[in-house]
Structure formats: structure tokens, C-alpha cells
């Protein structure tokens, strides 16, 4: 094949914008999709497998929470909720968690209150929880004595 034949035979579009969902999945598997393109695939791709794969690669809790609030598919909601649970308990997301606390549902708040890596993260989540039974459990089980005493 000549040089010009090879030049013009190549795809002109990145595979993340291909009409073929298999090309988009391959692009996600290669890790060649990031930023706005990844968000676009995660939020609005017509193929559920593409959306699932893109959502699994997102690591921004704020973005994931936005997708959670607008997602209709229960399987994707479960995936997003699992990612949020994993991310919001990490110390590197403490500032983000603080900003998100007023908008989190009780399941996420209780997960953070019982599983966050730092006492400050657990304490902040506990301050937003009013379910007496859960607070009683944390008064007995939290690893930080100051938190146990405050409950």
C-alpha cells in the first residue's frame, strides 16, 4: 500500500467518538479517553456497556454524584453509588466530602460515618445523621474515643 493509501485509510475520528460502540469500548479499555470525552460517554452514551465502562473510570466524586442524581438505570445507579462509597471515605477526598455532605442521602452519609479513614470525616458525616439507632451503634463501635464520647 502506498504512503497516501495508508494516510487516507486511517480513521479520522478518535474511536471514542466512533458510531460503533465496540470502538468506544476499545478506546475506554486502552485508557485513551479522558476528561470531557470520558464524562460525555459516562453520562449520555446510548450503549449501556459503554456508559458502565466510562463510569467505572471516573474518579471525581462531584461528577459521580451528579450522574447518580440523574441516572435512570438501577444497575448504573448501583455502580455509581459503589464508586462514591469507595471514594468519599478516602482522606484525599475529605474537602470534597465536606462540600458534598448536605446533598448526600442517608445511605451514603451512614457509610462515610462508619467507614471513613479519618475521625474528622466520620465526625462530619455523623453531624448530618439523625437516626438514633445508627448513632447509638457508632457510639459503641467508632474506633475514635472522642467520637464515641461525643455521641
pLDDT digits 0-9 by tens, 91-148: 999 999 999 999 999 999 999 999 999 999 999 999 999 999 999 999 999 999 999 9
- Give the pTM: 0.83
pLDDT at 19 over 50: yes
Quickly tell me which residue has 467505572 as its cell. Answer: 56
* Residue 15, pLDDT score: 82
8 Å CB contact between 68 and 81: yes
pLDDT at 1 over 70: no
Grid coordinates belonging to 110 = 451512614
pLDDT at 6 over 80: no
For the chain, the C-alpha Rg in angstroms (whole number) is: 21
Q: What is the mean pLDDT of the chain?
A: 91
Coarse DSSP helix, strand, coil percentages of the chain, rounded to the nearest 5 percent: 75, 0, 25
Q: How far apart are CA 33 and CA 22, in angstroms?
A: 14
What proportion of the chain, given as a percentage, has pLDDT over 70?
Answer: 91
Helices and strands in the chain: count of H runs, count of E runs? 11, 0
Q: How far apart are CA 95 and CA 8, in angstroms?
A: 49
Q: Which of 95, 101, 68 is nearest to 83 (CA)?
A: 68
* Residue 122, pLDDT score: 97
The gap from C-alpha 139 to its chain's centroid, in whole angstroms, comes to: 29
Q: How far apart are CA 41 and CA 27, in angstroms?
A: 11
Around 7, how many Cα atoms within 13 Å sit in the side-chain half-sphere?
3
Amino acid at each position: 500500500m502506498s504512503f497516501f493509501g495508508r494516510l487516507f485509510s486511517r480513521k479520522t475520528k478518535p474511536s471514542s467518538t466512533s458510531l460503533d460502540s465496540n470502538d468506544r469500548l476499545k478506546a475506554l479499555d486502552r485508557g485513551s479517553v479522558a476528561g470531557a470525552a470520558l464524562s460525555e460517554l459516562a453520562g449520555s452514551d446510548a450503549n449501556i456497556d459503554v456508559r458502565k465502562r466510562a463510569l467505572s473510570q471516573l474518579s471525581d466524586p462531584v461528577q459521580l454524584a451528579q450522574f447518580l442524581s440523574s441516572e435512570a438505570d438501577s444497575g448504573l445507579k448501583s455502580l455509581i453509588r459503589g464508586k462514591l462509597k469507595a471514594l468519599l471515605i478516602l482522606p484525599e477526598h475529605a474537602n470534597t466530602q465536606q462540600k458534598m455532605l448536605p446533598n448526600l442521602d442517608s445511605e451514603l452519609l451512614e457509610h462515610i460515618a462508619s467507614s471513613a479513614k479519618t475521625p474528622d470525616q466520620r465526625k462530619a458525616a455523623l453531624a448530618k445523621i439523625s437516626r438514633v439507632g445508627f448513632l447509638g451503634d457508632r457510639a459503641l463501635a467508632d474506633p475514635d474515643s472522642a467520637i464515641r464520647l461525643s455521641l
